[in-house]
Every structure is written in structure tokens, then in C-alpha cells.
Amino acid sequence: MKIKTLIVIVIVAFGFYSPSKTYAQQDPQYTQYMYNTVAINPAYAGNRGVMSIVGLHRSQWVGLEGAPQTQSLSVHSPIGEGKVGLGLSIVNDALGPADETYIGVDFSYTINTSDEGKLSFGLKGGGHILDVDFTKLNLLNNGDPLFGQNIDNRISPIIGVGLYYHTDNFYVGLSAPNLIETDHFDESNNSNDSSSFVAKERIHYYGILGYTFDLSDQLKFKPSTLIKAVAGAPLQVDLTANFLLFEKLHAGVAYRWSAALSGLIGFQVSDSMLIGFAYDRETTDLGDTTYNDGSFEVFLRFELFNEYDRMLTPRFF
């Protein structure tokens, strides 16, 4: 892939700036967000009622050199009587020469608002580690001071908040996984603003919403949406239509507004284990099959049950 294409991807997705700041969407993107909620909303920690472990891998824009690769691992569980939830989220996101790792500890507290409704308040605390290896770029001018020094293990703090409300068949959530805006820069060029190279973390706001309809004893339908907003980037809206057949097979389609069309499928291997796969096809010019074979996402969720709290039927969310 031509280096100018890679640089464009990095600038758009990572938010580098020189000499004036550029803002862009930076947090990892998920098509199967409904199964990985704690990664974007700390208030979800413990809300499945059992210890839940979710691992996810996403390869975006396969075929484009330097395209995003994301891995996430989250573990969360209720504590004691279930009002308190604790979790740990680790996300690695690689894009071109940049490699970012997010490590967050999630805390939630839940109150009953009615016989069915529960409202959870969440906090996330942790750190963000940034590495940028400019030697991975095929530069036209190897002597360009803008790319002269790598960024190694640049650590910055993370503080996030979230709200999550749910009943047996409905949920809604609002969150900001990181409220701290951090400038990453090449300190060796700090005395010359015209040659500074900066990436600025921006606050990302998430809204999630879903409802489960029981169409029959063997068929459930859950429409859901995720909205992501960040300064300087277009509003992202994901609309998903998911079905659960025979309490085993998950199947659905999704549309990312003005961006991509997706297919999702999953299988409830047992009460404890769910596996899922999603494929995205870009609806923009980036979807040209000459360079881009689409995006792939796979996840595995494993949950630990005691005999007394084993679910009669797997929860849809």
C-alpha cells in the first residue's frame, strides 16, 4: 500500500497533529459491542450476575497495510449480594506505527429502582500506554525531523464514568471511558512548535440502547444501537438487528451509518460459553475490494456459574 495512504489512515484514526491540532476518533471500534459492553461502560461490571470473561479480536480493513488490529480482554463479576461489581479491562489497539494499550479497573454500584429495574453507576480507573515506531513507515525523506524520535511507553492516566439501567428485556447506558485529554508529543522538538508532533486523546461519549422481544417460545428479537460521539469526528451510529433461535443460535445484521454493513453470527455452545463472529463491508470508497477485504471480528465469552445460580436460559444481554 502506498505510504501516503497509510499516513492518511493514521492521521484520521489516531489524531496526530503538526503544527496545528487535529482531532479524530481514536477509541477501538466494535461491531459486537452488545457482548463487550464493559469495555466501553464501567457501570456494566457485574450486571450479568455471574463472573463473565470476554476475549475479542478485530482485524479491520484487511488487505490495507497498517490497518487497525484490536484485541480486548475483560473480566467482571458481582461481589457479595450483587450491588457491587468489579472488573478488569485490557485493550490493545495497533494502527500503522502506533500501538496503544488501555488497562482499566471497573467498579459499579447498583440500586433497585423498581421490581424489575436496576440502575448502575460505574467508575473506571487505569492507564494508557502509547508506543509509536516511525521506522515502520517508508518515508520519502528519511531525514525528516518530524519522524526522528519514536514514542516509547508513554503512560497517561485513565478516569472514566458510566450509567447503566436495565430490566429483564430492556437496557440503556451512557458512558465516557476516559475523561482525561492527554497530549502526546516528541519532547526533543518541544522548543520548536513548528516541528512538534502531537497526538491528543479526546473524550469519547457512548450511548447504548436495546430491547428484547419474545416473538415465540423459540425466537427472540433484539434491536439495539450504539452511538459514539467525539469532537472533530463524525457521529458514529450503529444499528443492529439480532435474533436468538432455540436459545442457541444468534444471528443478525448491522449498519454503521454511512460507513459499513455487517453480518453477525454466534452460537451458545453451553450455558457457560458463547462464541461469535462478525464481518463488515465498508459502504464508502474504502470498501474497494482491490485493497480492502473487509473487517473481521471474533469473540469468546465464558461465564462461571454455581449450581444455585445457573441460568435457566442464556441472557441475551
**What domains sit in the chain, N to C, each tagged with a CATH number?**
40-180+200-316 (2.40.160.40)
What are the pLDDT tens digits along the chain (317 aa)?
343 444 444 444 444 444 444 444 467 889 999 998 999 999 999 999 999 999 999 999 898 888 899 999 999 999 988 899 999 999 999 988 889 999 999 999 999 999 989 999 999 999 989 888 877 776 666 666 666 677 777 889 999 999 999 999 999 999 999 998 876 554 544 444 444 455 667 899 999 999 999 999 999 999 999 999 998 788 999 999 999 999 999 999 999 998 899 999 999 999 899 999 999 998 887 766 677 889 999 999 999 876 545 544 456 77
Closest CA to 47 of 61, 37, 56: 37
Using alpha carbons, list the distances in angstroms from residue 260 to 152, 225, 279: 34, 14, 10
pLDDT reported for residue 317: 77
Closest CA to 149 of 178, 116, 110, 188: 188
Contact 128, 201 (CB under 8 A): yes
pLDDT reported for residue 19: 40
pLDDT reported for residue 12: 41
pLDDT reported for residue 3: 39
Q: Is the pTM of this model over 0.75?
A: yes
From CA 293, how far away is CA 286, in angstroms rounded?
Answer: 10
Closest CA to 226 of 204, 212, 210: 210
Amino acid at 150: N
pLDDT reported for residue 291: 74
pLDDT reported for residue 143: 64
pLDDT reported for residue 269: 95
pLDDT reported for residue 111: 96
Contact 250, 242 (CB under 8 A): yes
pLDDT reported for residue 13: 44
The CA-CA-CA angle for residues 57, 127, 236, to 5°, reads: 50
Closest CA to 22 of 32, 33, 34, 13: 13
pLDDT reported for residue 140: 65
The separation between the first and the last C-alpha atoms of the chain, rounded to the nearest angstrom, is 40
